A and B are shown apart, each in its own frame.
Chain A
Amino acid sequence: MLQIINLRTPVLEPASFSVAAGECVVLRGASGAGKTLLLRAIADLDPSEGRVMLDGVERAAVPGPEWRRRIGYLPAEPGWWADRIGDHFPDWAEALPLVQRLGLVPEAGDWQVARASTGERLRLALARALVRGPKVLLLDEPTGALDKGSTAAVEAVIGEAVRGGLAVLWVTHDEGQAERMASRHLIIEGGRLVKA
């Protein structure tokens, strides 16, 4: 599904790999190794060279916004542009079942962003990305700030989406999580991708 050939930036050395539909590939590496930069390059948030294809279609042939609607990206510290949580969703009511499965209350839609904790914001940002129906999801430590219960909820939701055909590239430092979720592992060291 997602195919990457010689993707490179001034920091990243050429990387080639692919993620199939229904596959969860876990990406690991020390802090500063270039994990986030790799995800950003795939989502076309920073300029990069090389080829990235989704279902055989070259990224260059797809306008940037359309590409990013197909390739969802959840950063480690998601941003918010409106005051109210609900305004970040196309339709809060439609997102409710997912939001509740992630352990959040329906009233969260009316909250000010500042009222949500770091962990709540991470889960809300995951919901915000999932409801838009991407084909690929790039996750940058989505459970870094979560307790055990919330982590399990996130893993369950993503696991189900993967079984439904979503392709996931997941950055995590948590070895247990990597074991639970990964169908395959990738390791990045000093900007260079090393297959595990």
Chain B
Amino acid sequence: MSGTQSYITLNYIDLVAASLLILLNAGLSLRLDLGVHRSFFVAAARMVVQLSIVGLVLKALFALVSPFWTGLAAAVMVGFAGYEVAQRQERKLSGWWSLGLGTGAMLMASGLVTVLALLTALRPEPWYDPRYAIPLLGMILGNCMTGIALGLNALTTGLVSRRAGVEARIMLGADRWQALSPITRQALRSALMPIINSMSATGIVSLPGMMTGQILGGVAPEEAVKYQILIMFLIAGGTGLGAIAAVLGGVYRLTDTRHRLRLDRLR
């Protein structure tokens, strides 16, 4: 941000000291026969490798400030998030819809919200400066991904378990939006619950990671708070838009123009 050097830089010895906590937990797992030491180690190792690589990639991106490389990085992030959404579904849509619906909804919502924030609130020069665009997209995408995954999962599992009730309404002449509305509403509630909870609890139960990070980095708390409020609005807006697009897209796919329920389009 401004060139203030008020934050404390870490050296590798500091990290080794902290990593002893992982060893301590692994030791406890062995001693108490919990059987989690292996996955604990693997996850910790993955975290170190992934973050180190991200550090290098971000360093290169920030040095380049190229619209092409920034766009490519954003596309890779959206692609991975789309894959995650598809992986988290108990009942997947058939064919390309499984991957395409979540990815498309996320691309639309997080892209829109990120670009909006870059053009209005933050206004970096150039507007696609990866130093702002990439972390912003990452935060919005992370929450959007959770919302969409939960929403689609609630939609498909709800339709499978409450199929008879939905079809009863269709049989009596309801159109597909009416017939599916209780399940659509339920799916959107599931999708938005985490972000609603986190907005309600933030500042009381939890201090958001980004704000904490800025404060540790030497930014004045009231400035960090302003940033956090901006980010929360962006996250909530992006998650809402993404979840609505994904769930309504799911309703569209799992019914047809004759207003029939088409659960044969689930794998």
Say if A and B assemble together.
yes
Interfacial residues, chain A to chain B (CB-CB below 8 A): 43-47, 63-66, 68-69, 72-73, 75, 77-81, 88, 125, 128-129, 132
In the complex, the answer to whether B165 meets A45 with C-beta atoms within 8 Å is: no
- Interfacial chain B residues near A75, Cβ < 8 Å: 167-168, 171
Q: In the bound complex, do residue B164 and residue A132 qualify as a contact, i.e. CB atoms below 8 Å apart?
A: no
Known: A63-B259, A64-B258. A43 touches B168 (CB 8 A): no
Are B259 and A77 in contact, CB atoms less than 8 angstroms apart? no
Closest B residue to A81 by beta carbon equals B165
Number of residues of chain B lying within 8 A (CB) of chain A: 21
Complex formed: what's the CA distance from A128 to B165 in Å?
13
Asked whether A77 lies within 8 Å of B174 as measured between CB atoms, the reply is no
**Are A79 and B167 touching (Cβ within 8 A)?**
yes
Please indicate the chain A residues that have their CB under 8 angstroms from the CB of B162 in the complex.
79, 81
Which residues in A have their C-beta under 8 angstroms from that of B168?
Answer: 75, 78-81, 88, 125
Add 7 more A-B contacts to A75-B168, A79-B166, A132-B173 (CB < 8 A).
Answer: A44-B258, A45-B167, A64-B257, A65-B175, A69-B173, A75-B167, A79-B167
B226 within 8 A of A: no
Report the minimum CB–CB distance from A44 to chain B (whole Å): 6
Contact B171 A73 (CB under 8 A): yes
Let me know if A128 and B164 touch, CB within 8 A: no
Contact of A68 with B167 at beta-carbon distance under 8 Å, contacts A47-B256, A63-B259 already known: no
Residues of B within 8 A of A64 (CB): 170, 175, 257-260
Q: Which residues of B150-191 have CB atoms within 8 Å of chain A's CB atoms?
A: 162-175, 182
Q: List 20 A-B contacts (CB under 8 A).
A: A45-B170, A47-B256, A47-B258, A47-B260, A63-B258, A63-B259, A64-B170, A64-B175, A65-B174, A65-B259, A68-B170, A68-B172, A69-B172, A72-B171, A79-B165, A79-B166, A80-B165, A81-B166, A81-B169, A81-B182
